[in-house]
A and B are shown apart, each in its own frame.
Chain A
Amino acid sequence: MGNNGSAPDLSTRLMRMVIVGHVDHGKSTLVGRLLSDTGSLPEGKLQFVKDICDQQGKTFEFAFLLDALQEEQEQGITIDTSQIFFHTTKRKYVIIDAPGHKEFLKNMVTGAADAEAALLLIDAKEGVQEQSRRHGYILKLLGLTQVAVVINKMDLVGYDEKVYSKIKTEYSNFLASLGVEAREFIPVSAKLGTNIAELKDEMPWYKGPTVLNILDQFEKKPRPDHLPFRFPVQDVYKFDERRIIAGRVESGKLQVGDRVIFSPSNKKAIVKTIESWSVPEQPNAATSSESIGFTLDEQIFVERGDVCTLMDELPIVSTTFDANVFWMGKRKLEKGRKFTIKLNTQEVECEVHEFKKAIDASTLETLKNQDYIAKNDVAELTLKTRSPVAFDLFGSIATTGRFVLVDEYDVCGGGIITTYNPTTKEDKLRDEVRTRDFNWIKSDIKPEERAYRNGHSAALILITGEPGSGKGPLARTLERSLFQNNFQSYLLDRRNVNLGVSADIGSSEEESARRLGEVAKLFLDAGHVVISTSNAFHREDQEDLKLLANPYQVVEIQVSSKPAGEPDILISPDEAQNVKEASTKIQNYLKEKKILMGHNYSI
C-alpha cells in the first residue's frame, strides 16, 4: 500500500472514492484488480503476495494484496478503512476501502464521509442484501450521490443477462426511493478482470462503460465558493499583539473590509486583516476550504462555536430543527436521554424532541411506534438543543448543515438538517431580537469602557423560585451590597414596569414579560448589574428574558426547595433566610464568572 510513485500530473487533485457493499461481495478483490490492471502496484508486490500464497498452500486472490493486518487475514474481512492509491491515464485516485461487515458500519461511514464518488458492489449470485441497502441509504445521508453500481461475480451466474437485469431493476427502484440515481450498473467479474479495465467478450449484451471508464467520468466536487460565506470560529488566539479569530472558510469568500456578523451572539465588526505566516504578502481575501485567521476593527467578544457570516446572508439560529440521522452507537438513540451535538465547532447538549419516523435501514421499513433507534438504523426526527445553534439546511450549504451526535465519549451518530420551521414563540422572539440587535445604534462608549469604569460587566441577575421563598429580601440585600462595593446595581421590579411602561396592556403576561426584558436590556446597555425577581413567572417567560438580554450575560439564582430547570446557583429557602450569606454566595459566583472584576482592572 502506499504512494506507488509515477504521478501523472501534480496540479490535478486526487479523486477520493469509496467502495461499499455487503460483506463478501468482493470489494477487496475489486480493489486488488484495479491496482493490478492500472499498473499501480509497487514493483514485485504482486509476486510477493503470490509467493506467500504458495508458501501457505492457498490459491492466490487479489484481495490478499490488501491484507495489511494479521487479523484481517485470519478473519477474511477488511476491518477498517485504509487508503490505496492508483491512477488511470486520466488522473490519480485514492480508494478508501470501506468494510462491508455490519459490525464495522462506523468504519464504512468514516471512509465514505470523505469520498467524492462511490462504487456500490453487489454479488450477482446473492443479489441485493442487507448492507447493499443500508450502505445505499447512508451514502445518500452523507450527501454522496455520485454512485455507480458494480454487479460482481457474473462468472458465477453464467454471465446471465436476466440476473443482471433483475438486480438492476430491484436496486434502482430502491435508490429511486431515496432520490438517488446510479450513473451505471456494470456487470463484472473482479476475480477474472471482466469489464474492469476493458470490456470482455463474455457479456456481449452489455454495451456500457467499464469500471475504469465510469471512474474517469466522475466529477470532482466543486468547492463551495459560490455559496454564502460561512466561517465557524475554531479558536481565538492572542500569542502576540494580534487578536486572531481562527477557523476554516466552509463556503463562500471573505475579504478585508467585509462587515461580518457572528451568530448566535449577533455581534458585528469589520474584518481588518487576514493573517498568515510565511507568505510573501498578507492575503486580502480567503475562499472555501482555507484554514485562516483574521483580525477585527474592534474588540468584540467572539468565541469558538460562533458562526461568522456576512450581514445579508445569515444562518438560521434555533434550538429545534428536523434532521435525518444514522446511528452507530452501542446504546440506543432514544428520547429522554441527553447527547452532545457537534455542529461545525459548536458543541451543545441536545435531545430528541420527537421521532417522526424510525427506519430499518436495511429494508427501509418504518419501525412502528418506536421512540428510539438502535445501532445501524436511521431516523427522521426533531432535535432540540439546550442553547441556540447557528446552522444551514443541508440542501443549501452542506458543510454547515450536518452534525454528529456524541453519546458520553463517543461519536455515535451523524445527521443532516433537512428542515426548519420557525413556528415556536421562542423562534419568533429570537428573530425579533436579531433584527433589534442588527439595527441597534451603538453608543460611542464601548461596553468594555463602561465595564472598566464600573468594575463589572453588565449582567442580568434573575432570582426565581416559588412565592414566599425569600426572593424579595435577598434581591434587596444583593442590590444594596453591590452598591456599597461601588458597583452599578439596580433592582428592576416587574410591578414598576407594569405600572408605567406596560400600563396599557392589561393582563397580557407574555407582552409584559417582553417589555420587562426590553427595559432590562436598556439598563444592561447602560452597563448595570440588573437584579430582577420573578414570582409568577413561568419558565417560558424566563427563557424569553434571557433571549431579550442578549448579548449580555444572564445569571439565574433559584430559591427553591423543588429545583426546576438548570439554574446557575441553587439556594434553599432555609439558606435564603440568612440573606447576607446568600448574597455573598451570589457575589462570589459573579466574581468567579468574571462579571464582578473589581475596579481598575487592566484591559
Chain B
Amino acid sequence: MDHLDELENQSIYILREAYKNFKNLAMLWSIGKDSTIMLWLARKAFFGHCPIPLVHIDTTYKIPAMIEYRDFYAKEWGLNLVVGKNQKALDEGMNHEKGRIVCCEALKTQGLQCIMEQEGYTGLILGIRRDEEGTRAKERYFSPRDKNFEWNFKDQPPELWDQYKTKFSDDTHIRIHPILHWTELNVWEYILRENIPIIDLYFATPEGKRYRSLGCAPCTGTIDSNAKNVEEIVEELKNATTAERSGRAQDQENTYAMQKLRARGYM
C-alpha cells in the first residue's frame, strides 16, 4: 500500500462515516480538481454510485467552460446535481468591484446558505485540504458550524482514532472534509493514477498560461506554465515553490482575509 492508497482509503472511510451518520447531506462540487477527485472517491466508496446530491454554487461569474464540464459529467455519471445561487444579491448587482470579500460572502457563502436552507441540508461535504492555506490547516475532518454558519476554531472537538463528532444539537450543522489530509501534489498524482477526467482549464494554453486553482473569472488568474497534461503538472508541482492559491485575489485582500471569510462560513 503506497501513500496514495493510504490517502484514498482514509478518505473513503470518512465519506462512509459521513453517509452513515448524517441525513440530508450534500457534497459541494466546485468543478475544481479537489472536489472532482472527492466525487471520484465517493464513487469508489459507494461502489460506482454517488448517493449524495452534489451542490454547485453558481456565482454566474464562473468561467463558462466550468459550467459545460459540470453539465456534461453530471449527465455522464448520473449525478443528482443541485445548483444554488444568491439570486437576490445578483439582482441587486453584486460583483467583485463592490469588494472581493463582500462579493465572495454574498455570492458564495450566502449562496450556499440559501441552498442549504432551501433543501434542508444539515451537513456539507467539502473538498478542502490542510495544505491550501493556514486556516484550513486547523480544520478537523468533521467540523461543526453553529446556526449562523460560524466556525469556532478555538474550541474544536478532539478527533482521534477515526472517531469523529457525529452527535450534534439541532442548531448546528456539520462540515465534513474527506480530503483534508491530501496535498496539491497528491491530488494530481491521484488524477494521473486513476485517469480522472479533469477540466482542461488546468492545462497550459499555447501561450504558456494555465489555471492552478479555479474560481470566478474576474478574481482568478492564470500562472505561467507549459504543463499541458497531468504528467507535466505533477512534474511542475514537484519543483514549485509558490503557493497554490496565489492566483486567487480574495486571499490577498488583507492579511487575515481567509480566516475572516472562513470563520463566517466560507468554504
Contact = CB atoms under 8 A, between A and B. Distances in A.
A44 B19 CA distance: 42
A385 B132 CA distance: 42
B138 A328 contact: no
A278 B137 contact: no
B97 interface: no
B17 A234 contact: yes
A237 B46 contact: yes
Given A7-B185, A107-B156, A291-B45, A42 B140 contact: no
Interface stretch (B64-72, B80-88, B164-172, B201-209): B164-172
Contacts of B159: 110, 113, 411
A110 B158 contact: yes
Nearest to A114: B160
A32 to B, nearest CB: 14
B222 interface: no
Contacts of B19: 235
Interface stretch (B1-9, B25-33, B109-117, B211-219): B1-9
B237 interface: yes
Contact of B165 (A242, A246, A409): A409
Contacts of A379: none
A420 B196 CA distance: 49
A399 B256 CA distance: 40
Contacts of B248: none
B242 A43 contact: yes
B161 A234 contact: no
A441 interface: no
Interface stretch (A126-134, A259-267, A400-408): A400-408
A350 to B, nearest CB: 14
B130 A82 contact: yes
Nearest to B183: A3
A409 B134 contact: no
A299 interface: no
A11 B2 contact: yes
B13 interface: yes
Interface stretch (A64-72, A511-519, A589-597): A64-72
A386 interface: no
B137 A275 contact: no
Given A10-B3, A240-B49, A293-B47, A79 B154 contact: yes
Contacts of A409: 165, 167-169
Main SS at interface, chain A:
loop
Given A10-B3, A70-B256, A289 B9 contact: yes
Given A2-B243, A5-B238, A109-B160, A80 B138 contact: yes
A234 B20 contact: yes
A239 B194 contact: no
Contacts of A399: 161
B135 interface: yes
Interface in A82-134: 82-83, 85, 106-107, 109-110, 113-114
A244 interface: yes
B113 to A, nearest CB: 22
Given A10-B3, A82-B137, A2 B157 contact: no
B260 to A, nearest CB: 9
Contact of B1 (A42, A223, A408): A223
A180 interface: no
A198 interface: no
B150 interface: no
A342 interface: yes
Contact of A13 (B3, B47, B184, B194): B3
B153 interface: yes
B126 interface: no
The 4 closest A-B pairs by CB, nearest first: A68-B134, A113-B160, A106-B158, A43-B241
27 contacts: A1-B133, A2-B243, A3-B184, A3-B185, A11-B3, A13-B2, A68-B137, A69-B259, A71-B154, A79-B138, A79-B154, A83-B130, A113-B159, A239-B48, A242-B47, A246-B16, A247-B16, A278-B40, A290-B1, A304-B20, A328-B158, A399-B161, A408-B167, A409-B167, A409-B168, A410-B157, A410-B167
